[in-house]
Structure 1
């Protein structure tokens, strides 16, 4: 992957596998998911205490409320980020998310304040998180992991796995996200 593309272009590439110009990106912002990602990336680009940083954080806050996404500029999110559907999404600002990750609606990625897994999740590359899944605590999610809808995860997940259920059960799969994560960067 060439470094000539911006993070925003890499995120938008995930939607349909086409590299877009700045004008084409703006045209795609009619999609609430892509619009939010655009604003989030702009807020992440500028320092918090700069004029542009304050502006983009203000715009982001408005769109967090409008679309129901609680994702903050402090969240470390790799390139190729994809939101499958809009509405009701909560991600702790200290969460780390790798490249080519998909997150569906209703997902909560949060902090656990007590017990053996106190902390915040770290999510690897090429992770697909289904609708209404919950990931909490200082857990590490490996690469090429599919977390099925409505799963509850408060434990580490090795790479090349599928997790299903509440409590979640791990099934090893080399092709865990094949067909789920498209247009990888």
Structure 2
């Protein structure tokens, strides 16, 4: 897998197949994959003056069109997967690990005051369900499933399922089995 690009690894998560550049472009009819492609291009060329500006302008257009508010400054690991098209907000200072799935309506944001002032850090193999909210200077472990509509504002250990508002943690060694497929 070392020879594959980040874009190829992201697209592998969707199909379970290694795709050529042409096949990747053909799959860009899907808004989720199209946005991930443009996001990765804007990240790749962020330090190149002309290409960086071009991809930032393109990204901004599709942020508005698709409702995904994810910026090139956001650190996102390989195998990133957006489950559905729909509004999504991720603070640019947040960090997201490898093989993470994020559904529609999710907010990953900063907390501006209090003991958790800051931004979330999300581990590897995390599945975040629709309309979940993750805020503050918190750490989400590896192999964590955050259920739909959960409100998370405290640290979550590895191998956990999180549900509800206020959130409750349930230990589960197989938390994301069947939820995160085609890992890279």
TM-score interval for Structure 1 and Structure 2 normalised by the shorter chain: over 0.9
What TM-score do you get using the length of structure 1 for normalisation?
0.98
Inter-partner Cα distance in structure 2 for 1:116 and 1:3:
40
* Counterpart in the other structure of 1:12: 11
- What SS is found at the alignment partner of 2:43? helix
Alignment match, 2:179: 180
- 1:116-155 per-residue CA deviation (whole Å, 9 max, x = no partner) reads 1110000000000000000000000000000000000000
Q: CA deviation at 1:16?
A: 1.2
Contact 2:70-2:92 at 8 Å conserved across structures: yes
State the aligned residue count: 184
- Closer, same or farther: CA 87–48 of 1 in aligned 2, 3 Å: farther
Other structure's SS at 2:105 match: coil
Asked if the contact 1:83/1:103 (under 8 Å) is kept, the reply is yes
Which 10-residue stretch deviates more, 172-181 or 48-57? 48-57
Uncovered stretches (5+) of structure 2, i.e. residues with no partner: none
**3-state SS, counterpart of residue 19 of structure 2:** coil
Assess if the C-alpha contact under 8 Å between 1:68 and 1:88 holds in 2: yes
> Structure 2 length normalisation: TM-score?
0.99
Q: For the structure 1 residues 133 and 59, does the alpha-carbon distance in structure 2 shift closer, same or farther, using more than 3 Å as the test?
A: same
Structure 2 counterpart SS, 1:116 = coil
Structure 1 distance, partners of 2:53, 2:94, is 22
Query: Deviation of residue 48 (structure 1)?
Result: 4.5
Q: 2 CA distance for matches of 1:86 and 1:56? A: 21
Alignment partner, residue 92 of structure 1: 91
Contact 1:112 1:119 in 2 (8 A): yes
> Contact 2:70–2:91 at 8 Å: present in 1 too?
yes
User: What residue is the counterpart of 1:119 in the other structure?
Assistant: 118
State the superposition RMSD in angstroms: 0.7
Which ranges of 4 or more aligned residues in structure 1 deviate by more than 6 Å? Answer: none
Cα deviation code 1:47-78 (max 9, x no counterpart): 34610000000000000000000000000000
Alignment match, 1:148 = 147
Aligned 1:18-167 pairs, distance under 5 A: 18-48=17-47, 50-167=49-166
